[in-house]
Structure 1
Amino acid sequence: MAITTCVFDAYGTLFDVAAAARQAAAEPDQDALRDKWPELANHWRLKQLQYTWLRAVADAHADFWDVTQDGLDWALEATGLQGDPALRQRLLDLYWELQAYPEVPAMLKALKDGGMQTAILSNGSPPMLEGAVRSAGIGGVLDDILSVESVGVFKPHARVYDLVCDRFGCERSNVLFVSSNGWDAAGASGYGFVTAWVNRAGEPMDRLPWTPAHVLSDLTLIPELAGV
């Protein structure tokens, strides 16, 4: 069936999750962070994801902002930077203003010009996602922002993916789902979406029962995959 709806994960897919640490490290008086920001960013993202999985299987859901702060606290301690409350607050503030990847605005515009329905489907809470979309200036090329908060469980639970067809009235096979997380793309494949894994880092394929239909290095070819 033809693709009618393109849905994107947010963090790491449309928005650069390393941008907060990278930007903070470039600011004055951040000597301690300057050499450690890549390590900090990697720890922060990994713990953020791990905590969503653990909370999902333990039926202990929390707002993604709480999970994001918990992940940062672990990362700060792991890198020896936990003694600077001002740095912690600056990193959290910057997370609300994450930069979009360079190809994102033109890619989304091409989808909308081609008649596609477009949306975000994210673990992020609505205020976090609205802040990122506003900061990136892409609200005009998105039809909706869907958050797991409406179902109370994190991805890759099927109830999260249900939100897409419930919102757009489409079949699963009409959806192109795009994520930078291999496990997310795999889970969406098992659910029945057509999927694209944006593998910017050149990582190995996750060993899961399902695999993405497409593997890309960035988002440039998404309009072509969608058929516009």
Structure 2
Amino acid sequence: MMTNLFSSFDPISSIMHLSLNWMSTLLGLIFLPYLFWFIPSRWSMLWSLISAALHKEFKVLLGLNNPGGSVVFISLFSLILFNNSLGLLPYVFTSTSHLAMTLTLSLPLWISFMLFGWFKHTQHMFAHLVPTGTPGPLMPFMVLIETVSNIIRPGTLAVRLAANMIAGHLLLTLLGNTGNSLSMLLISILLMSQILLLLLESAVAMIQSYVFAVLTTLYASEVN
């Protein structure tokens, strides 16, 4: 019995005190190898089309100076999408609903962008702190605002992804725990609402992985 509403998100499955829940992060690798030697199917063709579309979009955002950088962000999109989608299955731990996972993705990328930008394009990074057309008296305030907004970027990326994953899972858990005390009519209504929420969560899983990858790509493009 859960003593806390958030207990459904706790990594508690273990063998010899070794947590196994975080191993679900690697489940997405199961779906990748067969693309290389199996006969192409509709799913593999669909994934190839999605990867090609993302490559075209990320290539435009990154510019001509970094044509191969889109591979990193497509891989990031794939990792988050697999974890978000597999987390909707029963008894599968959703690692992207924890800040430990989302911060691990966003913070190293942001730090690498900042180090590259400040060491390679120092003048551009200073110029980026003051938007074009800013009046002279407002420049110190704009520098402060831009600095703060730049510092909180990895936190907002991580919190956005984790909060969206937690919100839907909590709602599904709350509704599912009320089924024991309902009549057959209300249970049928509850079942339909759970199916609709599951469809909504599937859309959220795809949208949030896309948003995370696009925002990371935009942050990378600003340092060039």
Fold conserved between structures, TM > 0.5 = no
Name whichever structure is richer in helix by fraction.
2
Name whichever structure is richer in strand by fraction.
1
Q: Bigger radius of gyration, 1 or 2? A: 2
Alignment TM-score, normalising by the size of structure 2: 0.26
Alignment TM-score, normalising by the size of structure 1: 0.26
